[in-house]
Each structure stands twice: as structure tokens, then as C-alpha cells.
Chains A and B, each alone.
Chain A
Amino acid sequence: MSLPNPFDPDVKLHRGGCSCGHHRNQAEHDQAHAQDQRQQQDRLVEGAVMRALFPRDAERRRFLKTVGTGTALAAISSIFPLGLAKEVFAETNGPLEKTKLSVGFIPITCATPIIMAHPLGYYSKYGLDVEVVKTAGWAVVRDKSLAKEYDAAHMLSPMPLAITIGAGSNPIPWTMPAVENINGQAITLAMKHKDKRDPADWKGFKFAVPFDYSMHNYLLRYYLAEHGLDPDRDVQIRAVPPPEMVANLRADNIDGFLAPDPVNQRAVYDGVGFIHLLSKEIWDGHPCCAFAASREFVTGMPNTYQALLKAILDATAYARKAENRKEIAAAIAPANYLNQPVTVVEQVLTGTFADGLGNIVQDPERIDFDPFPYESFAIWILTQMKRWGQIDGDVDYAKVASEVFLATDAARLMKEVGMEVPTDPVMAFSVMGKPFDPSEPAAYIESFPIRRT
């Protein structure tokens, strides 16, 4: 549940991802709540007050267990004008500048939160009438976003950075208030290569990635380079729209791809390829797709922006829960969204999947959903853009990262919808065992023997 009752001692407010447990059917529960927005908002305020009074969950629980919920509410109300606080909150939240919105998405499982917010009613819960529009490719998403046909869109997380610094288009300040998903990509190879599992044997291969400015491109290049292959000289990498990847693989035009799901699973389903490696094995917890909007939208329509982001965050929280994944698969597989066989989407989301070589693999974290836009993600992406020559000249990594990845906003709103928020927007991590220090981006690039700088 997205808005846990703060007066319920069994609910952990400070650590998200827990259900209220009062309802068996989560969707029913959420929709019932969505009907009454005001009630939801009241809950938010109550939650905020409780958190303010009891910074630590353990204390609050002890307090509630001791005095009982009803007494607690009365007691708190006596010292803190909850009713007034609720009113104030409703006002500061302000009227929505625009309620009819258009949000573009690419039909891949990464788009799950953006899509799911629609059938789950999260958009309408925040008073928004959102049309989620399927789009043909990343360049089209970018162009339609730049053309303001979309108010916000599903993008690859490097795209807002590229747009902001003007790589591949004119520089326009863009923002990324939330990550859509983490992990959830894979390297798929054609069936004929099933015995060539060592990347060292891949010289001369032709690979496809969905877009030049994509995690897929950077992860594939990283992976190949770590295995001693120069991605620009020893193999060919080209941008191919995801729907055409399987067909190209089947037609023997490419040897493999690092692609978003369900493309990988679809290749297995159609018997044309096998999953060589999940992207989480390269970097566990890497961001992939993003919810992105122009800075103009964020600053010009702050209330709409916040409502939209909260809806996405709610959906992300919902998608994060393993028990919801089957239902999500059934909801997003039809033609209106992904247009894929349900089993394909289900295998991706549940992490119990056929690998194309006759094995059933179980990896519940094959794809996961975590909205927090760590600035260190942005810095890593920028280092890779620099490493592979996509940006010339000097980059103020930290500045661009903090301007585009709106960690502060995300943290505040995640808190409001009751999600767990990391304390530091800059997090160190490792990619293929090699640690990345976000404070030393230039040195990081220098540390790679294969690079274009």
C-alpha cells in the first residue's frame, strides 16, 4: 500500500515496501483508497506529524502499543492541530495547473510504473487525467517531448543528461525526477552462438542496442571492454529499435543484443536466441529507464508535476512488490500497452524464466523498481558518455548530475507517499567488481585502458 496508516502499530512508516495487511487484494485496496483523495491526503499529514513527533519507528510503535490508536489520535490532536495541518497541506499542494496530460512510453517492461499508474488509478487519484501513449522509438520520444506533445515521458536515463548537455540535439534543460526501474536488461545471443559464452570469442560480432544514449550501450561497451574487446573496433554496435531486434536476430543480421525486456525473453519464446547474461550481473542495481520531464514543466507547473511524480512513485512502489508482479504482467501485456504474450512479460517480472538453453532460471531481482535518482548514477553515465566520445570538452559532472537528477524532489515526494528514502543522494557502487568513486569521475575514466579520450 502506498499510504500506510501511521496509527497502525504494525506498519513500518520509515521503511517502505510493506503492505498494510488489511486487504487481501492489493489492487482493490488501492483503488478503494484512490476514491477518496482527501482521506489519502489526511493520512499523509497524519503520517508527517507522527514522523515529526517520533523520528524513530520503534518509539512510535511503543507509544501506540501502550496508549492505543484512538487515544493516540486524540492525544496528538490536543497538542497539535491536525485538522489545521491537513487544511494547510491541501492548500500548499495547490490547484493543479493542468489535469489532462500526455505521457509517452516505449513498450518495454521498464515502463511498468508509467503504464501501471494508469490501470491502477494512481493518476486519477492525484486528480490527473493522463493518457499514456505508446511511442515508436527513443528518438521519437525525445522529439515529441521536445515538441511538448508529451508533458512527460518514459526515457532512457542517459537521455535527460544528453538533452541537457546538448548531445544529439540542442541543449534544453531536462530533468529526471525518478528512475523507473533497476536491472531488467540482458545480453541475448543468437542460438548459433550457444557455445561461445566467452566474450573473448565475440570478435567481429554485430550487436544491437536500443539507442546510442542508453544504459544498454554503456553496459555492453563496459562489459566488452572489461573482456578486452574494443567496442568500436572489435565488434559493431548499432542502434536498433527494440521491436526489430528479435526479427534481426532471427534473420541473422545481428549476433546478439543488449536489450530491454521483454525483447530478450521474446527471443527465447520464439526460439531464436538465448539469454547469455542478465544486466544485473554486470552491475546489480543499475538504473535503466527514467521518468523524465522538461525543466520548464517542473518549474512552470509545480503542482501538476508533483502530482504526476507521486502517481509514478506510487506505481513504482506497487511494482516493487514481488507479489504484485503476476498481476502487473497480466495488466501490461495486452495490445494497449506492451502487446506481448502474457507468459513472456510474466517471466521477466517474476524472474522465473526460460533462458533459451533449456534451463529454468529463478532470479526474483531480474528486474526491480526503485525510483530514487542517485546523482552518482548520473555521474557514472556522464563518465561513460565522455569515455566513448559522446561529449567533448569538460563536464562539471556533479553540477549536471544534481541539475538533471532531481534527488531532492524525489526524496521529499517519496517521503510523502511513504517510501523509504536514502540519506545520501550520492552512493558509491561497483560495476563488474570495479568500484566507482563519484567524487573522482575524471580519474575513473583514466583508469580504463579502452577509451576514446
Chain B
Amino acid sequence: MKPTSFWAAPILSLLFFAAFVGVWHFSTQQTLGEVTVDPEYAALIGAQAATGGQSAMPGPLDVGAKLWEHIRDPFYDRGTNDKGIGTQLIYSIGRVLIGFALAALVAIPLGFVIGMSPLIYKALDPFIQVLKPISPLAWMPLALYTIKDSNISAVFVIFICSLWPMLVNTAFGVASVRKDWLNVARTLEVSSLRTAFQVILPAAAPTIMTGMRISVGIAWLVIVAAEMLVGGTGIGYFVWNEWNNLSITNIITAILLIGLVGMMLDTLLAQLARAVTYKE
């Protein structure tokens, strides 16, 4: 078999991208027909409506231009309800990180306890099984009602959706630490604390990191929806605000950026996971 060039995959990627953009461009391209209504009336309605049609999907050029516009000035501030997309992304990432960190603070110690004690595992398992499949957004009304602060509620929703994968994975990782390693620690009279930190934690770390990676992915998915619900700030709010304006161009731009940030978060945790992974 001939070895494929280093550049083969990137070139293919570019080709796919070009093909996608091309299809997008030509399928959304609309030639404006004759204006079918009188000019005075036409001035009051959208360009597409004036020719008897409906406003159309934006093409890649529109989106590109909009994207550039946002990237050029990502942190503008034109009042409480109109801030740059960079600011909105920072709000969202901030909420995700806070909720995620809080979840980690709860899930990892609790997961340790559950993983190490079959009794507690059995006692808590029904709760976890019932709570785990609940859509995080279903918590939103309850959170708003009890916490009485939409910002904290959004963070709470992130917390709750990040919690389960980390909790379950930590418990699983801790429970499946090789008996031999624990025996080594026991025969060496290693204290429980040192065993927890120097044997169980590193042994379970790859599993825990996998849980964290799943969690941050879910958290990023959920924050957009949560912010669309509570509004105020964040990329979800941005999408909602532009949806309000029916500005599909802005929405596609935001979708692209949401994807990019999601990928960055995932890559970051993948790097961390690689750092703690060991080969047996």
C-alpha cells in the first residue's frame, strides 16, 4: 500500500468544505425577481416579500461577512441587552466553568465514597438512576423558583447536568481500581488518605477524566438552551435575541462559534485526559 501523504487528509477536508459551501451558496442563491408591488409599498416590506416571495436562507457569503463583522469587534457594549459576541461567549464559558467546577467538587469526592463503599453505592444507586436521565433543562423552573436568581439557576443547571457523568464515572473508576494495587498499598501500610490520593485517584483518573469530558460536552450543549430560556447574557441569549430578529445569518454565525468553543473545551479536556492516562 502506498503511504498517503501528510497533506492528503487536510486537502480532502478542504475539498469537502468547499463542496459544502458551494452547495450552500448555490442552493440559497436567489435572484430577485421583478418588484410586483408599487414602490411605496415595497419600501415597507422586505426585499424578498416585495417580489412576492418570502425572506430566504442566507448564503455562505452573508454568513462570512457577518462572522467577520463579529470577529472584528467581539467585545462591543451597546447597552445591557446588546453586547459583542466575544463578551457573550465569555459569559457562557464562565457559567459552564463555574457549574462544572462545582459539579466536580461534589461529584469526585462523592463518587469516591460511592465507589469505595458497596453499601453506599447500593443505597444511592436508585436516586442516581432516577435523577440521571432528567433533562437538565427540566430543573430550570424548579431552580428559578427556589434559587430566585436566573444567573445562579443557569449555573445550577450546568452543575446538575455535569454532575452525573462525573459521579458515575468516578464511582465506576474507583470501584474498578485493581485489587492488586490496593493490596500493594495495604501491605506497604500506606495510610488511607495517601492510598486515596496516590493509588485510587491516579488509577481512576482516566475514567474520571472521561466523565469530565462527557460532562463539559453536555454542559456546553445545555448552557445555550439555558441561556435561551433565562436570557440576559451569554451566547444562548445571543441566539435567542437574533432569533427574535429572525436573523438567520447571526444565528448561523453563533452556531459556528458555539461549535468551535465546544471543540476547544473538548480538546482541552482531552489533553488533560491524555496527561493522566497510563498504559498497563
Please report the C-alpha to C-alpha distance between residue A305 and residue B244 in the assembled complex, in whole angstroms: 31
Shortest CB–CB separation between residue A396 and chain B, in angstroms?
A: 28
Nearest B residue to A170, CB-CB: B145
Please report the C-alpha to C-alpha distance between residue A107 and residue B231 in the assembled complex, in whole angstroms: 12
Our pick among B55, B229, B244 for the contact of A339 (Cβ within 8 Å) is B244
> Contact between B78 and A336 (Cβ–Cβ < 8 Å)?
yes
Please report the C-alpha to C-alpha distance between residue A247 and residue B244 in the assembled complex, in whole angstroms: 10
CB neighbors of A among B178-228 (8 A): 228
Shortest CB–CB separation between residue B270 and chain A, in angstroms?
A: 33
> Contact between A136 and B45 (Cβ–Cβ < 8 Å)?
no
> Contact between B229 and A136 (Cβ–Cβ < 8 Å)?
yes
Contacts of B148 in A (CB 8 A): 146-149
Determine whether B17 belongs to the interface, using a CB cutoff of 8 Å to chain A.
no
> Contact between A140 and B230 (Cβ–Cβ < 8 Å)?
yes
> Contact between A270 and B46 (Cβ–Cβ < 8 Å)?
yes
Shortest CB–CB separation between residue A289 and chain B, in angstroms?
A: 16
> Contact between B245 and A353 (Cβ–Cβ < 8 Å)?
no
> Contact between A270 and B55 (Cβ–Cβ < 8 Å)?
yes
> Contact between B78 and A269 (Cβ–Cβ < 8 Å)?
no
Contacts of B19 in A (CB 8 A): none
> Contact between B49 and A270 (Cβ–Cβ < 8 Å)?
yes
Please report the C-alpha to C-alpha distance between residue A132 and residue B82 in the assembled complex, in whole angstroms: 11
> Contact between B37 and A358 (Cβ–Cβ < 8 Å)?
yes
Please report the C-alpha to C-alpha distance between residue A206 and residue B243 in the assembled complex, in whole angstroms: 22
Contacts of B144 in A (CB 8 A): 140, 143-144, 147
Contacts of B231 in A (CB 8 A): 133-136, 140
Contacts of B145 in A (CB 8 A): 143, 146-147
> Contact between A131 and B80 (Cβ–Cβ < 8 Å)?
yes
Contacts of B112 in A (CB 8 A): none
> Contact between B43 and A133 (Cβ–Cβ < 8 Å)?
no
Q: Mark B62-99, 1 if CB is under 8 A from A, else 0.
A: 00000000000000001111100000000000000000
Determine whether A51 belongs to the interface, using a CB cutoff of 8 Å to chain B.
no
The count of A-to-B residue pairs whose CB atoms sit within 8 angstroms is 119
Contacts of A41 in B (CB 8 A): none
Our pick among B52, B80, B141, B240 for the contact of A133 (Cβ within 8 Å) is B80
Nearest B residue to A135, CB-CB: B231
Nearest A residue to B50, CB-CB: A271
Contacts of A354 in B (CB 8 A): 41, 44-45
Nearest A residue to B242, CB-CB: A339
Nearest A residue to B43, CB-CB: A343
Please report the C-alpha to C-alpha distance between residue A268 and residue B242 in the assembled complex, in whole angstroms: 18
Contacts of A125 in B (CB 8 A): none
> Contact between B48 and A271 (Cβ–Cβ < 8 Å)?
yes
Contacts of A242 in B (CB 8 A): 244
Our pick among B46, B230, B244 for the contact of A269 (Cβ within 8 Å) is B46
> Contact between A271 and B53 (Cβ–Cβ < 8 Å)?
yes
> Contact between B228 and A270 (Cβ–Cβ < 8 Å)?
no
Contacts of A408 in B (CB 8 A): none
> Contact between B78 and A335 (Cβ–Cβ < 8 Å)?
yes
Binding site for B on A (CB under 8 A): 107, 131-136, 140, 143-144, 146-149, 242-244, 246-247, 250, 266, 268-272, 334-337, 339-341, 343, 347, 353-354, 356, 358-360
Q: Can you spell out 29 A-B residue pairs with CB atoms less than 8 angstroms apart?
A: A133-B81, A133-B232, A134-B80, A134-B231, A140-B144, A140-B150, A143-B141, A144-B230, A146-B145, A146-B148, A147-B145, A242-B244, A243-B240, A243-B243, A269-B44, A270-B46, A270-B246, A271-B45, A271-B46, A271-B54, A335-B78, A335-B245, A339-B82, A339-B241, A343-B44, A358-B37, A358-B41, A360-B40, A360-B41
Given contacts A334-B78, A337-B81, 15 further A-B contacts (CB under 8 A): A133-B232, A136-B231, A140-B144, A143-B141, A149-B148, A243-B246, A244-B243, A247-B243, A268-B44, A269-B55, A270-B48, A335-B245, A336-B81, A354-B41, A358-B37
Binding site for A on B (CB under 8 A): 37-38, 40-41, 43-46, 48-49, 52-55, 78-82, 141, 144-145, 147-150, 228-232, 237, 240-247
* List of 8 A-B pairs having minimum Cβ-Cβ separation, nearest first: A271-B49, A147-B148, A336-B82, A336-B79, A243-B244, A354-B44, A136-B231, A134-B81
